[in-house]
Structure 1
């Protein structure tokens, strides 16, 4: 049986990183994978092709962010606007990591934050999960294991196989955090704070931040203990083009009206980085 994405490409050197491969499990029967002729194959005969860009689609389809949303995010992040946040995430995630540790970015997008962690801790390995084919395709370019998957479903990972989970502005699945993290592992969650991009609201009707977001986050993680929490605020001066990118790279892109911004706008990007230990 094959749920490969599209036809196999012409012969060439396509592979998949070793440590993520060891942790992955077949989503149809939960058995281990082996790398066989440009595909991930399990012992019961299920096979998933490795795309020419290096990622694997275990979902069978892509339901996440559109090509335009992913392009806007890639351009905005490449400009370095969120570099201080990426640096904080990397320093917190890389603390006390053993060699050959596995960092899973759940909702990896383009792989920007996972790439920052791996640049800080080059001896560890990374696996990115995202439901957008367009995002995972870009993440694979960074050299991580990249998999198309729906985070609301049980993850195609072995229990206790992961040392660190990153969740940066992504859907949260506490049951899977508990299952796939090793005991004592780290869960790092990034959420926007109530003042995030508040200045933009005079120009565009972007989505608001839920009340008591942190309290509900802590309450949902019953198998974890909060170890550290950091505020991260970044003052940005955004061109009209960057305003368009920051609005259209997230959920607001689905409903926002045309943006009337003619001059640079100064805004504050405000985040909370919460670090939990698995108990």
Structure 2
């Protein structure tokens, strides 16, 4: 399936990584050109790469991690997380422009856009493999390879909702791109997330100080409005558990043989808790 044409309303959210000028789509959707004459080619897979001068693309998720993410999300296991995200995104009103930071394959953003017929979105991710998938996620979304710790290739004050789902967040830059009435919605793992399989499989534990560090990085620039915890229990076979492990940071710390050996000691039907905190922030005036 070929990537859809670049939506001009989504293109209008982007800024040149060289001079920060607005972009316009080039002829035939071949790329972008800014008001100062800088141009960016669109990859044949449909995504754009907008990195500051001299900065190399980060490694990001591997092709294997992205494939596992696609499979696990397509099976519907995280549909409750997407639904909770949608509730938080639309709670203060109906957004028109969405920015998904570290958005991976664009799965969550695409589902949100399905429910927001007048909205457009941009997915920023460090992984070119994820961006290739995100470029085909939704006709009203644009996929961009970018460094979310640098200046975001997004114009000042144009975003209604910024989304961060299990990804790093850059408080000053998020505040810069949000509209005055805009909101940031962050999804983070709760302490009991994946609790049943962490010890048996040797997975990384949720850092108990993570919530405090999140507040410290955001609250000079953004004010917390509220938070809700969402929890559900899945029953997964070994293949689904392996896919769940493979799509996240745990995959970098485990070997396939070691994971298989650990799974063999578990029941065929594994109970797994999905527990997340959904927190909403607004800009500091």
User: How high is the TM-score relative to the length of structure 1?
Assistant: 0.90
Q: 2:5, 2:74 → 1: CA distance?
A: 26
Residue 142 (structure 2) pairs with residue 145 (structure 1):
yes
CA-atom RMSD in angstroms:
1.8
**Structure 2: gaps (5+ residues):** none
Shift of 1:13: 9.1
Is 192-201 or 253-262 further displaced after alignment?
253-262
Shift of 1:191: 0.5
Shift of 1:96: 4.3
CA deviation vs aligned residue, 1:21-66 (integer Å, no higher than 9, x gap): 1111110111121212311012333211122332111236452100
Is 159-168 or 259-268 further displaced after alignment?
259-268
- 8 A Cα contact 1:107 1:167, kept in partner: yes
TM alignment of 1:1-279, pairs within 5 A: 15-37=5-27, 38-59=30-51, 61=57, 63-98=59-94, 101-142=96-137, 143=139, 144-221=141-218, 222-257=220-255, 258-259=258-259, 260=261, 261-262=263-264, 263-279=268-284
Q: 2:35, 2:224 → 1: CA distance?
A: 40
- 8 A Cα contact 2:8 2:25, kept in partner: no
Instruction: Please state whether the residue corresponding to 2:173 is helix, strand or coil.
Output: helix
Q: 1:14, 1:269 → 2: CA distance?
A: 33
1:13 to 1:208, Cα distance in 2 relative to 1, 3 A: closer
Is 176-185 or 49-58 further displaced after alignment?
49-58
- 8 A Cα contact 1:14 1:52, kept in partner: no
Q: 2:195, 2:208 → 1: CA distance?
A: 15
**Structure 1: gaps (5+ residues):** 1-11
User: How high is the TM-score relative to the length of structure 2?
Assistant: 0.88
Is 146-155 or 201-210 further displaced after alignment?
201-210
Instruction: Please state whether the residue corresponding to 1:186 is helix, strand or coil.
Output: strand
Q: 1:53, 1:220 → 2: CA distance?
A: 34
Shift of 1:273: 0.4
Q: 1:141, 1:15 → 2: CA distance?
A: 10
Instruction: Please state whether the residue corresponding to 2:242 is helix, strand or coil.
Output: helix
Q: 1:28, 1:219 → 2: CA distance?
A: 30
Q: Residue in 2 aligned with 1:4? A: none
Instruction: Please state whether the residue corresponding to 2:201 is helix, strand or coil.
Output: coil
How many residue pairs align between the two structures? 267
Q: 2:212, 2:4 → 1: CA distance?
A: 44
